[in-house]
Each structure stands twice: as structure tokens, then as C-alpha cells.
Amino acid sequence: MSLATFKELRPAYGFDEVAIVPGTVTVNPELTDVHFTIGELTFNFPIVAAALDAVVNPRFAGELGKLGGLAVMNLEGLQCRHDDPDSAIAEIVAASQEDSAAVIQRFTAEPIKEELIGKRVRQIKESGAVCAVSCTPAMTKKLAPLAVDAGADIFVIQSTVTTARHISTSPRGLILEELIEDLRVPVLIGNTVGYAATKELMETGVAGILVGVGPGAICTSREVLGMGVPQVTATIECAAARDTHYRETGRYIPIITDGGMRNGGDVCKALASGADAVMLGTAFARTQEAPAKGLAWGMSTGHASLPRGVRIRPGVDTTLDRLLFGPTSRTDGTENLVGAIRTCMGMTGAQNIGEFHDAEMVVAPSIKTEGKVYQLSR
């Protein structure tokens, strides 16, 4: 008689299911330190703009850089495929929702022009901003040297799921240790959601990890592939890997929660879960400075055979300055994100992001509905 075995499911939590517990000591918000560091580069706040064609072009990267922030430009996106990416973006914006994915695929099918990589990097550098660029693992060995030679300061390797051990038909695939040694700029990699995979990636020498599979408003990986882990649980697990790696090596590698955050409360929960920074896309798409005029679409929307993104229309309702620093009259937490971080940190007694990681959290599925009957009936 054989014994049956059953797959066990463990609970996992997203932003709507948890809450941050106030501390026993409080701190004035203006006394909190919200700086974020990658390698030897330091930024004024822990919010990074995602590598979306609808958000980051050289002009946007420059504007965010003036505020002390970081934007990542996609080397495999429209900026490096088209001499006039604004025209391509305008046609995507004008397309019907039904036709939008096909239009994005058509523009993404154009070949990457190597001369445009250098041109776009130089445009960002000329604006005075730190230049961060992104591409997939498959294109990294080809595109990374071109970008770094042109002056890129940070290189980001992104795919739906990234691991340190990858089986492929290539006789000698992407070897992270060699790439990091050759580039000599901070290399960030993602995306991942678990302890073991994160720890193995950190052991390659990367400078940062992106956390999240499929949580973003524009990503459909969870629908197409059925894959993902809610962001609070994913962040906690990856933060544990970071802390273990630090204890073992003395090398602290920041993790960046990437996607799924709609407002200041979600951002605060990501940081309290262990993130050193967050990466936002749709929030930045809402700004007047973003090139797609209030629309956004995912990096994988243009995939030739299996699109895993959708075009959405959040609209233009803010500026970069108001989104990050206010002042604001909005009561839903969608502006003054840095102010929300400082205020929440102060209420937990945290004077810096590291101390914020120690804030107590509770599972609280009623946190958004308790006592909110009049809000919910509006």
C-alpha cells in the first residue's frame, strides 16, 4: 500500500493583508534619514523609476536626477530602437486598447541600434543625472559593454524570473561573476522572490536585487503564467537572504521591491518588510514629465510570441515634485510619497531605513475596511 503525498501550501501576504505597528518611541519626520545607496552612489530617497518606455527617457531621467532620484532606462525598449521614439510612443498612445499590444509588438520588433545606446546614455549624463540602464540576460553580454563604455553608471539585468543557475542551449551563458568583474560598475539583477535564489545571486557579487514577479499594474505574468509571490512575503524572504549574506561576508546588498505599490502606505509596508528601496512604474507614469501622457505598459508587452503585459491608462494627475514631496490635497496617499515614508518611520521610532526594517508588522486582512464603511460607500 502506497502512502499518498500532498503538496503543502504556505501562506503568503500582500500589501492589503498586513499592517505596520506603531512603535514605543516616535521621531519627528524631518529627523528621519531616507537616503538610499547603490555601491558608492547615494540618492536622496528610496524610490526608483522603473525601466518602462512610457516613463523613462533621457529627459525624464534628467528631471528625476535633479530631485536626487534614480531612473532606469530600458536598452531593449523604444529609446534604442528608434531615432524618434517620441513618434513611436505617440502612435502607441493613440492606438485602441484592443490594438495596443500589437502596435507595441510592431515597434519593439525593430532592431536595436547600437549607436543609439551611446547617444541615449550620453543624453542622460549630459543632464547631470546618474545613468542606470536595463536589459534582459540574453542581451546583456552584447549591450552592457556598449552602455558602460558610453558612461552608464549602473547596469540592471531584468527578466520575469532570474536565478544564478540557468540551464540553456548556450555552451557558455551569462556568467555573472565575470560580467561584474569586466563592467566595474554596480550591477543590479532581478527579479526574484525567494530566500535561496536571492542568496545565490548575492554570492555572485551583484550590487542589488530586484524583488517581485508579476505584481505590477501593467504586468500580466500572474495571469499568463500563474506565477508569483505576494510582495510582502517576497520582500521578507529576500531581506532575510540579504541579512544572512551580510552576516557571512560583511557585504550589505540592498534589495528593491519592484512593483505592486499603489500609494504611500504600500511603499511604507515594502520598506518595513525589509526593502532598502522600491521601484515604481505606474506612479511615475501619472506625472506630467513622463513621455506617454498618462499611459503605461509593461516591458514584456512587446514580446513577440507571449506578451505578459497590458497597456493601462492611469492618466496625468501630478508632477514629479508633487508625487515625491507634495504638498498635496489628495487624501488617498498617491502624492508626497517621501513624506509618507518619513511620517511612517517617525511613528515607528525609526530614524533610518535600516531601523525601519525592525518595525513590527501584523497580519491584518481587515486593515483597509475596519471602520471605513462611509469611505467604501462613496
Catalytic (active site) residue 313: yes
Q: Where residue 377 falls among pLDDT bands split at 50, 70, 90?
A: low
Any domain includes 11: no
Any domain includes 313: yes
Q: What is the C-alpha to C-alpha distance for residues 285 and 302, in angstroms, rounded to an integer?
A: 18
Any domain includes 312: yes
Any domain includes 4: no
The three three-digit cell numbers of residue 101, written as one number? 499590444
Any domain includes 48: yes
Q: What is the C-alpha to C-alpha distance for residues 120 and 258, in angstroms, rounded to an integer?
A: 24
Any domain includes 28: no
Catalytic (active site) residue 219: yes
The confidence score (pLDDT) of residue 2 equals: 64
Q: Where residue 324 falls among pLDDT bands split at 50, 70, 90?
A: very high
How many other CB atoms sit within 10 Å of the CB of residue 376? 8
The three three-digit cell numbers of residue 18, written as one number? 498586513
The confidence score (pLDDT) of residue 171 equals: 57
Catalytic position from the list 219, 238, 268, 344 = 219
Q: Quote the pTM value.
A: 0.95
Any domain includes 369: no
> What is the count of structural domains for the chain?
1
In the chain, what percentage of residues exceed pLDDT 90?
82
The confidence score (pLDDT) of residue 219 equals: 87
Question: For the domain that residue 261 is a member of, what is the CATH number?
Answer: 3.20.20.70
Q: What is the C-alpha to C-alpha distance for residues 361 and 19, in angstroms, rounded to an integer?
A: 6
Containing structural domain, residue 63: 41-163+175-318
- Helix, strand, or coil (residue 131): coil
State pLDDT tens for residues 22-52. Answer: 999 999 999 999 999 999 999 999 999 999 9
Q: Where residue 221 falls among pLDDT bands split at 50, 70, 90?
A: confident
